Amino acid sequence: MDNLLVAENICKKFGNFTALNNVSINIPRESIFGLLGPNGAGKTTFIRIINQITMPDSGVVHLDGKPLQPNDVAHIGYLPEERGLYKSMKVGEQALYLARLKGLTKAEAKEQLDYWFTKLDIKHWWDKKIQELSKGMAQKVQFVITVLHRPKLLIFDEPFSGFDPVNADLIKNEILQLRNEGATILFSTHRMESVEELCDYMALIHESNKLLDGKVDDIKRQYKTNTFEVGMNPFNENELLSELNGNFKIGKAQFKSLSDDLKLSIQIKPNESPNDLLQYLITKSRVNHFVEVVPSVNDIFIKTVTTNE
Amino acid sequence: MNNLRLIIHREYLARVRNKTFIVMTFLSPLILVGMFSLVAYLSMLNNSETHTIAVKDDSGLFQGQFENKDEIDFVDVSAVSLEDAKLLVKEKEYYGVLYIPDTQDNVELAKSIRFFGKEAPSIGILRHIERTVSENLTTRELISRGMDISQIKAAEAKVDIRIENFEGKRTSKMSNYVKMIFGGAAGYLLMMFIIIYGNMVMRSVIEEKTNRIIEIIISSVKPIQLMLGKIIGTSLAGITQFSIWVILGTVLLFITSSLTGMNLMEGQPQMQDIEQVSNGEMQQLIIDITNLPILTLIVSFLVYFIGGYFLYSAIYAAIGAAVDSETDTQQFMFPIILPLMLGIYVGFFSVIENPHGTVSTIFSMIPLTSPIVMLMRIPFGVPWYELAISVIILFVSNAGIVWLAAKIYRVGILMYGKKPTYKELYKWIKY
């Protein structure tokens, strides 16, 4: 697999506190990689190590096959969780300054700013000070500053925290487009649902340790329980229930429906086919609803964390 | 290096474009000149006021002995009683009553003369009275011992020691005052500059922290680059402000002095003890000033400014990084202000007393105080090797302090929420 970023055996301690314990993560090129974990798990420390803000105690990070160099910052765009801008500086001036710190020449920076400001329709903000903008407006500017220098690797730490739904959607689409244009995106969050939507790969960090990682679909497949949610109107409920109870593990299911008398979750054995179950059910009831239960990232997260404790 | 230049540029513009900076730059000289003129005007008023002192001389020895001076008039009230004299003084709002009791004994007299007044008399007036009484009594004593006053007067030698240095340049007694003023002003200026601009650095660090822009910036540049850029950019803003002040101040001073027709030299304190400034002494004063190691002073001011400012503003930057808001900085301010105040006190007491004494020499070597103390010593002539040692110590410790400060800074800028203790700062250094 072609990885843009390879982190090997990263350890980091702050005094007696271990922030990262032997964490290895590979981020495939042109993917969206979700770094998951509760608050304080070590996500931000890991991201800061990639950004060379913090140095690891041991372990190496490779970017594009080479160990991380100080001037690699030009290839990385970082939107931190704690983010802000100079309040009394003008938008354009500020964006130019930050772009030039990333190594762009003045002309290049101007050209890119022009492109992005036009795209997001914020050109008329150029001479405004940040303190005159609303929070949502300032966040758009921050996003532009992050992606301005066309980095290979984009790192977003809780990108949607504090964004209003309209801007969050806008930014989400921009992120997807950037990935399609060849950027690799590392995306750190404790909000699981955004991982479901966006990420191709994910890693789970809990209390300084990496618990699992891989392709999101693979992980889900690995965690599936062969459970099906069934909604039906049985011809004879008691008979059906006792028969089912004898052959399967069943439980009550919760989902919205209009006409179901009985809602069940039925777990079949890995070697059994859902077809057989369905065929049997059809003979005993009118089946309105038959869906495989796909574990949500949230379920996987909770399961992994609890089994590790 | 390119990034450092960008940071310096931004920091400089951010300081210089600040409204407070512009207002302070152009208003301060006006305020300063205004205050200077006010003080000069008030002291002129004060000097022109005449004090009348009633003399009740019961001994009869001092009739006509008290001569009226510029600002003191003596009125003889020996005819009335002491109580009446006091009432009279109150009524006429005289300065006070000088009471000389009825005794012919010199020793007794010397001890029993009293002054009654609403408030304590000024030192100048008291000295004048004491000198008159003392001269009078001495003469009387000499006569009573059978000496010829005219002989003694004739034998009195008037001494005026001419002071020259080894190179044969003539200096005057004033030159020490001149040196004190030049050294003192340079040292004091340096302290003000360190405090004002160190604070600016600190506020700017806190601003970046509270704005939360800091993490965006340090994902592009090294924290130490940001810190150095900030310190250098702010110092350039300081130099700009200082230059504007010097130019504006000079212009305004000339305007005021020509408008009021006031001789600026008279307003200066070093002249107060010198009773008459003859033309010759005036020239000597100018020679004294030109004889000062002006070039050394200017060069050392710049060198010590750079060294001292860097030392302190690195500490200021570290403090700014360690806290979340300006109100939290108080606990860390004391260790900064203390050595600065110490420098000023050592300068004003020890250096003036004995510029090359042990205390002055030691404090002009300790890096935290050396910029101030050494600047005060330089006008008195400091051997080049002492200067060299002091500067070397300053810059070596500078490198150390900047290194330490950068470590605290690096950790501190990413820490939010809690007020750190000294112990934690020490831990950060080891991260």
Q: Quote the CATH superfamily of domain B51-146.
A: Periplasmic binding protein-like II (3.40.190.10)
Average pLDDT over residues A134-138: 83
> For residue A100, what pLDDT band results from cuts at 50, 70 and 90?
very high
Structural contact between residues B205 and B224, judged by C-beta atoms closer than 8 angstroms: no
Average pLDDT over residues B89-113: 81
**Domain ranges for chain A:** 3-221, 225-293
Mean pLDDT of chain A: 88
Q: Which residue of A has its CA nearest to B204?
A: A86
Residue ranges, comma separated, of all CATH 3.40.190.10 domains in chain B are 51-146
B220/A80 touch (CB, cutoff 8 Å), yes or no: no
Structural contact between residues B32 and B249, judged by C-beta atoms closer than 8 angstroms: yes
Residue B83 has pLDDT above 60, yes or no: yes
Q: Quote the CATH superfamily of domain A3-221.
A: P-loop containing nucleotide triphosphate hydrolases (3.40.50.300)
- For chain A positions 172-211, those within 8 Å of chain B (CB to CB) are none
Instruction: Report CA torsion sign: B150, B155, B156, B159.
Output: positive
Q: Which residue of A has its CA nearest to B224?
A: A53
Tokens (6 digits) for A118: 């036009």
Q: What is the pTM of this model?
A: 0.75
> For residue A245, what pLDDT band results from cuts at 50, 70 and 90?
confident
Tell me the chain A residues in contact with residue B220 when contact means C-beta distances shorter than 8 Å. 73, 98, 101-102
CA pair distance B211, A89, nearest whole angstrom: 12
Tell me the chain B residues in contact with residue A86 when contact means C-beta distances shorter than 8 Å. 14, 207-208, 211, 213
- Look up the ipTM and state it: 0.80
Sequence length of chain B is 431
Please tell me whether residue A203 adopts helix, strand or coil conformation: strand
The three-state (H, E, C) secondary structure of B290-320, written as one string: HHCCHHHHHHHHHHHHHHHHHHHHHHHHHHH
CA pair distance B333, B326, nearest whole angstrom: 11
Q: Which residue of A has its CA nearest to B219?
A: A51
> For residue B268, what pLDDT band results from cuts at 50, 70 and 90?
very low
Q: Which amino acid is at A185?
A: I
Average pLDDT over residues A254-276: 85
CA pair distance B270, B279, nearest whole angstrom: 16
- Which tens digit of pLDDT belongs to each residue from A180-238? 999 999 988 887 777 788 889 999 898 888 888 889 888 888 888 888 999 988 888 88
Nearest to A186 by CA among A21, A49, A66: A49
Span of A95-109, A285-299, B155-169 with lowest mean pLDDT: B155-169
Average pLDDT over residues B165-180: 66
A53/B3 touch (CB, cutoff 8 Å), yes or no: no
> For residue B162, what pLDDT band results from cuts at 50, 70 and 90?
low
Look at residue B260 in the predicted model and tell me its pLDDT.
Answer: 61
- Which tens digit of pLDDT belongs to each residue from B291-304? 677 777 778 888 88
Q: Which CATH architecture has domain A225-293?
A: 2-Layer Sandwich (3.30)
Interface of B with A (CB under 8 A): 3, 6-7, 10, 14, 207-208, 211-213, 215-222, 414, 416, 427, 431
